Amino acid sequence: MKHFAIDGNKAKCFNENQAKCYRWRKLMSRKDPQFNLRLPEEVKEWVEQSAKENCRSKTAEIVYWLMAAKRRKEQAVA
């Protein structure tokens, strides 16, 4: 399935994976609080590979994992 997004005066055609990337970029805000995080090299590489596979930034990938863990914990408590 193809998706379309308007960028300025041009319509861009996206495939399904590219459309997912476009939506994630719109969700992440530069106004969110920041903090530094040190990771072992192998974990950093794992995050980079996973982010690439899921068409997300490294930050978006880590936020996705954390939000999923938060949801699982909240469901377990409920």
Per-residue confidence (pLDDT) for residue 70, from 0 to 100: 95
Per-residue confidence (pLDDT) for residue 2, from 0 to 100: 45
C-alpha distances in Å from residue 70, one per residue of 42, 43, 49, 66, 78: 24, 20, 22, 6, 12
Per-residue confidence (pLDDT) for residue 59, from 0 to 100: 92
Ranges under pLDDT 50 in the chain: 1-6, 11
pTM: predicted TM-score of the whole model, two decimal places = 0.62
Q: Where are the domains of the chain?
A: 3-77
